[in-house]
Each structure stands twice: as C-alpha cells, then as structure tokens.
Amino acid sequence: MKFKYSFIPAFLFVIVLLLAGCQVATQKKAEPSKGRKYNVVAYVAGFRNFDFSTIDVSRLTHINYAFVNIKDGEVVFDSTKIDGKALTPNDLRVLNNLKKVNPDLQVLASAGGWSWSGKFSDAAFSEESRAKFASSCVRLVQKYQLDGIDLDWEYPNQVGAGNTFRPEDVHNFTLMLKAAREELDKAAQTEGKGKHYLLTIASGADATYVKNTELGELQKYVDFINIMTYDFYNGLHKVTGHHSNYMPSANPELDMNSVVNAVDLHLQAGVPANKINLGIPLYGRKWEGVKSVDGKVLFQEAETVGMGIDYADFANDIDQNGFKRFWDETAKAPYLWNPAKKIFISYEDEASIGCKTEYLKSKGLAGVMFWEYCADRQNELQKAISKGLGK
C-alpha cells in the first residue's frame, strides 16, 4: 500500500490493535487455516473499460462475469450497452484463457443484477417456463465453455429496479434453481469425466430478502451463496452511514444491517456455513454536503445520497488531501471525513477486511466474494483478503 514512509509505523500499529479487537468481537478464536482452501469469488463487469487479460488470477478461485440477461424466458448473452460500453462475448474467451495461468480457476456467467432482473419472475412462474430457463442455462455454459452460472435475482417478490414481481416468486425461485440444477447435472453426466457445472446465487443481506426466499430449501441446489453484505447505506439514503459494517453499529435503530446479522439470518434460515461467501466491496459510498452535528458526521444528513465510488478513485485521499480516516470501534468499520469539503466516505480497508476474514474462519464459512475487480487500486484490497484468509 502506498503510504508516506513517515506514516507506515503508526498505521501498522493501529492495524494490529484493530485486528486484536476483531478477535475479541468474534468471541471465538479462528480455527487454523492451514490446508483450508477458501473461495475467493471476483465479479468482473463487462461494462467496464478494462483489459480482462491483465486480471491477476493468482488469488482467485472463481470469476463471475457480469452480466448476462434474461430474454423471452431464456438466459442469453446481451451485447446491449451499459454505461456506454457494449458487452462482448469475447470477454468470456479472454477470461477462460486466464486458466492457463491458474488452471484451478472457474469462470461463471452471472445472470441478472440490479438492471437485468426484471424477467426473473416470469421465467420462474410455471413448470414450462422453468424448464425453458433451465435448458437455456445449459446452452449458455456449453456455448461459452463456462464452469457454471450464477443467478443474481434482485429480488424475488420485491420490485427492485421496477421489476415484475409476485408472491409466487418465493417458492418459484426454489423451483427454478431445482430445475436448473437438474439440467446442469444431466449435461455434466453426459459429458462424463467427473464434470460438474456450478450453480450459485447472489443473495440479499437483510431480513426482507430472507423472508421472500426459501433459503433453507434452495440451498440444496446451489454450490454456494454469495451474500451481498454491502450497500447497507446506499444511493437511496441522504443520511451518512456504513455501507458494509462487520458488526452492528451503536445506533441499531438507524443501522440494523451488518455482516454478522446477514450471516446469522442465512444460518437461521437453514443455509450451511460452508455454503456461505461474505461479500466485500472494493468501492465506497460518498456523501456530499454533510451536516456535522456537535462534531459528529456519522448518521448525519447530507445534500446527496450515498454515491458509489471506486476504491481506486479515493485511496489517495486516505489521511491526505484534507481527508482524515476514522474508525468506528463498535461497527468495526472505517470512514473518511473532509470537514472543508463536507464529504463523508464509507469504505473497506485492510483493518475491516481483517475483521471479516477472522470472523468467516471462526464461523466455518466458505470464503469471500467481492464486487468488483476493476474498482481496486493495484489489487490492494484483494491482497488484504488473501492475507486475512492466510494465503
């Protein structure tokens, strides 16, 4: 990490103290990670102007390509422009070529996402539509020589980005996954040689998501679940807050979400610990025009909502350029504050990642997922993840 030399000793001392505090918070010493292989799932966005051939796959186990779409009830590659960038299936060829560097790497296509989840409900609605959807999953993975498919439905029985939704989604999502699992297994059996196609999902982190899914039942059909443990405070909030805090904050009435809460909800719903990946954001949330009240800037009103900002775009501001780093000891989460510009940034750093990786090891979780590879600065946060996992 590029810090001024005079700053390094103090920074490392703080990190040591914070990680010690994280171990106390878990109330259980992490089991030794020797010999344990954790999932490290990287989402990569096809709509970013990024050369995928330069991806460092040495620390990754899986890559989820974002996104493929659902059209006429089928999963298809959609070359529609997102943020001005047209997606291209050549991306998948480039990602598969990365296996020459890391032969154990597995590449999946992720269907849906925030913008393209509008057709999930219709595709899941009937036995016929589910069969059609499942067959298209097989065609997609075989056509592009993928290792599986990830379903990112945002969200069953919720409107999301103006999506079609219905109460039947709750059970139909389970049936959709069952149908997809069966078709993928049939295809793998036909190919032989121990072939197995992965089926995974991205799940919401709050009680509303759990209420509108059958996690305990649907987990039987997936290889693992990537919990989106971020965006707790987001682009809908004109109040500052942590967007990916490990522990509940000191203001639970304002900040109900946390990594611990999300994992507990999944475990209580019947998801085995070894099928859960923690989501870690490689981006922050920025609020402008923040009102400081008695010197407090956390959970305060702002003129803007929490806008997404890549870690690479503000990493140079950590304890520099008028910004000061603060640590919320209760939530185990960092934030930046610039009093002159009245800017607040909630983000992830090595200390908070260390807390989360110690926690996931103590709980026996499968590993981590992060969004999104291109947002990092020189892979700094990814290196922190690997360090935390003992790699």
- Is residue 235 within 8 A of residue 228, CB to CB? The reply is no
Please state, in angstroms and rounded to a whole number, the distance separating the CA atoms of residues 272 and 217. 11
Question: For residue 208, what are the CA distances in angstroms to 127, 153, 203, 237?
Answer: 26, 14, 11, 18
Give me the helix-helix angle, 350-363 and 259-269, nearest 10°: 20
N residues, the chain: 391
- 154 noted as active-site residue: yes
Catalytic residue among 31, 127, 128, 154: 154
Please state, in angstroms and rounded to a whole number, the distance separating the CA atoms of residues 146 and 93. 9
Q: By CB neighbour count within 10 A (0-12 exposed, 13-18 middle, 19+ buried), where does 266 fall?
A: buried
Dihedral (Cα; 291, 294, 295, 299), 10-degree rounding: -50
**Structure-block tokens of residue 123:** 């595709």
Question: For residue 203, what are the CA distances in angstroms to 200, 206, 227, 229?
Answer: 10, 9, 5, 9
* Active site (catalytic) residues: 154
